[in-house]
């Protein structure tokens, strides 16, 4: 089976989809791998490192895509790239289908079987290939570090000869994977951390990291079978905002990570709430990729709203590209290995498989994922 790994065109993309270590893992399975020249350049990984690890050759993008049976990449392909793919080949990457489902149609038309990394189910078994989780985890850490660097005060408490420095108060909204890591990181730095989430099980998880959980009575909330949050009603969103208002005003740092699977992120922090914060406070909107939780945030940018600094960078994990690449590369490697048939030396798409049922977007010329049919 010919595997090809193309690079990325986006100059802001610092991550590398596949690292030599995973090449070694996969060629151990019997894959023939070729990569685009300069694939690892952003991280200082040379082409020869890939060769040493077992890659067969470097190939320019066009040539590689045309001949590959299996394409592993990071972000979704351009329409032109889809066009040159070999029909019947398998394509694994983020596809961003909720923002723009057209790529699915193109892939289906081309009879390409495509796995969308963002559709990976949230089961225990699938966790090793769950790239959304592994990136969100890093994003949670990055969000706190960004805030710490910009806050005009310290995170930890210090009782010094020149007076007691009060610890920073951090409010984390949304305690999923990213939110929990943000809580953990802020706690490590010594901040007083509060967190809030709509899912009932989140409270225990927040406390398991030693932080306070903010209780807000909203009535029925709940979570899907996958563990994702359900979207709130407008009225619930409203009462949630009201309740969070005073917690925001107390906070030096607000980090929002609230997302709803397949939907635009809910707007939880209003401009009024931001303006009600102390001068110099920092708000990090870590849900910027799906539209952001902060009303006045400029997606992708750092802005001042009054005297409050609001960060809404996309793809926070790009700021720690070494580890972000490592985990994505491992996710891909684990995915291929999981479905690899050692006898036939090929990737087997079992339709009845629970994981594939979730993650497979197109197969045999049709869009098969029930969310997009």
Partner 1 sequence: MTALLFRNLAYLGAAILFILGLKMLTRPETARRGNRLSALGMLIAIVATLTTRGLSFQWILAGLAVGGIIGAVAAQAVKMTGMPEMVALFNGFGGGASLLVGCAEYLYNPQSPAGTLIAVAAAVLIGGVTFSGSLVAVVKLAGFVSGKPLLFRGQKLVNGLLLAGAILCGAGFAAEAGHMPGLLAALIILALILGIGSTIPIGGADMPVVIALLNSYSGLAACAAGFVLLNTVLIVSGSLVGASGLILTGIMCRAMNRSIGHVLFAGVGVAAGKAADQVQGEARPISPQDAYLLLEAAQHVAIVPGYGMAVAQAQHAVSELGELLQANGCQVSYVIHPVAGRMPGHMNVLLAEANVPYDLLAEPQDVNPTMQSVDVALVIGANDVVNPAAREDASSAIYGMPIVNVDQAKTCIVLKRTLSAGFSGVDNPLFFKPNTRMLFGDAKASVAALVAEFKGT
Contacts with its own copies by CB under 8 A lie at: 14, 43-44, 127-128, 130-131, 133-134, 137-138, 141, 145-146, 148-149, 151-154, 156, 158, 160-163, 165, 185, 188-190, 279-280, 307, 319-323, 326-328, 330-331, 334
Q: Is 59 a catalytic residue?
A: no
| Residue 135 annotated as catalytic | no
Residue located via tokens 């110099």: 280
Residues 115-154 within binding reach of partner 1 (CB under 8 A): 123-125, 127-128, 133-134, 137, 140
Tokens describing residue 99: 């923002």
Contacts of residue 124, Cβ cutoff 8 Å, sequence gap at least 6: none
Active site residue 122: yes
Of 29, 109, 131, 105, residue with least CA distance to 70: 29
Residue 99 binding partner 1, by CB under 8 A: no
Q: Is 136 among the residues that bind ligand NAD (CB under 6 A)?
A: yes
Residue with the CB atom nearest ligand NAD in the bound state: 176
Q: Which does 350 bind (CB under 5 to 8 A by kind): ligand NAP, partner 1, its own copies, none?
A: none
Shortest Cβ 257–its own copies spacing (Å):
17
Taking CB under 6 A as the rule, does residue 337 contact ligand NAD? no
Region binding partner 1 by CB under 8 A among candidate stretches 23-31, 54-62, 184-192, 274-282:
184-192
Task: By CB under 8 A, tell whether 316 contacts partner 1.
Answer: no
Interacting residues with ligand NAP between 113 and 132 (CB under 6 A): 124, 127
Rounded distance between C-alpha atoms, residue 41 and residue 61, angstroms = 15
Q: Which residues pair with 363 in a beta bridge?
A: 366
> Which of these, 356, 339, 345, 333, lies nearest to 22 by C-alpha position?
333
Site string for partner 1, 41-80 (x = CB under 8 A): ----------------------------------------
Classify burial at 27, counting beta carbons within 10 Å of its beta carbon; exposed 0-12, middle 13-18, buried 19 or more. middle
Answer for which of 7, 20, 97, 174 binds ligand NAD (CB under 6 A) is 174
Q: Minimum distance between the CB of residue 325 and ligand NAP, rounded to whole angstroms?
A: 19
Task: Report the alpha-carbon distance of residue 240 to residue 30 in Å, rounded.
Answer: 53
33/24 Cα distance (integer angstroms): 10
46 carries an active-site annotation? no
How far is 30 from 53, CA to CA, in rounded Å? 13
C-alpha–C-alpha distance, residues 24 and 51, integer Å: 10
Our finding on whether 261 is near ligand NAD (CB under 6 A) is: yes
Residue 107 CB-density burial (10 A; 0-12 exposed, 13-18 middle, 19+ buried): buried
- Both tokens of 26, joined, read 């996969």
Asked if residue 157 binds partner 1 (CB under 8 A), the reply is yes
Residues that are catalytic = 122, 127, 130, 133, 228
């Amino acid at each position: 089976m010919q595997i090809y790994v193309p690079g990325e065109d986006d100059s802001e993309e610092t991550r590398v989809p596949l690292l030599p270590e995973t090449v070694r893992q996969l060629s151990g399975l019997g894959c023939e791998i070729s990569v685009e020249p300069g694939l690892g350049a952003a991280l200082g990984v040379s082409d020869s490192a890939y060769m040493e690890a077992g890659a067969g050759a470097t190939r320019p993008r066009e040539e590689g895509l045309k001949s590959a049976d299996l394409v592993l990449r990071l972000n979704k392909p351009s329409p032109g790239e889809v066009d040159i793919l070999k029909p019947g080949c398998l394509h694994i990457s983020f596809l961003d289908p909720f923002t723009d489902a057209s790529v699915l149609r193109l892939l289906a038309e081309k009879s390409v079987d495509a796995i969308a990394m963002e559709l990976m189910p949230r089961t225990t078994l699938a966790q090793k290939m769950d790239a959304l989780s592994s990136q969100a985890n890093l994003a949670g850490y990055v969000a706190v570090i960004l805030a710490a660097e910009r806050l005009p005060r310290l995170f930890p408490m210090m009782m010094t000869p020149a007076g007691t420095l009060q610890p920073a108060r951090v409010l984390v909204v949304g305690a999923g994977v990213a939110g929990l890591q943000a809580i953990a990181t802020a706690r490590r730095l010594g901040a007083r951390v509060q967190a809030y989430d709509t899912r009932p099980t989140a409270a225990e998880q927040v406390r398991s990291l030693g932080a306070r959980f903010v209780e807000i009575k909203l009535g029925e909330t709940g979570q899907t079978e996958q563990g994702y949050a359900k979207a709130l009603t407008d009225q619930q969103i409203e009462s949630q905002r009201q309740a969070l208002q005073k917690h925001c005003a107390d906070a030096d740092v607000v980090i929002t990570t609230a997302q709803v699977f397949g939907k635009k992120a809910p707007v939880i922090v209003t401009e009024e709430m931001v303006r009600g914060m102390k001068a110099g406070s920092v708000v990090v909107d870590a849900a910027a990729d799906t539209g952001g939780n902060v009303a006045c945030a400029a997606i992708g940018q750092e802005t001042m709203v009054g005297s409050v600094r609001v960060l809404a960078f996309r793809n926070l994990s790009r700021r720690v590209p070494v580890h972000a690449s490592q985990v994505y590369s491992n996710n891909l490697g684990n995915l291929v290995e999981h479905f690899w048939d050692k006898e036939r030396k090929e990737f087997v798409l079992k339709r009845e498989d629970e994981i594939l049922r979730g993650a497979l977007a197109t197969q045999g010329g049709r869009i098969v994922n029930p969310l997009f049919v």
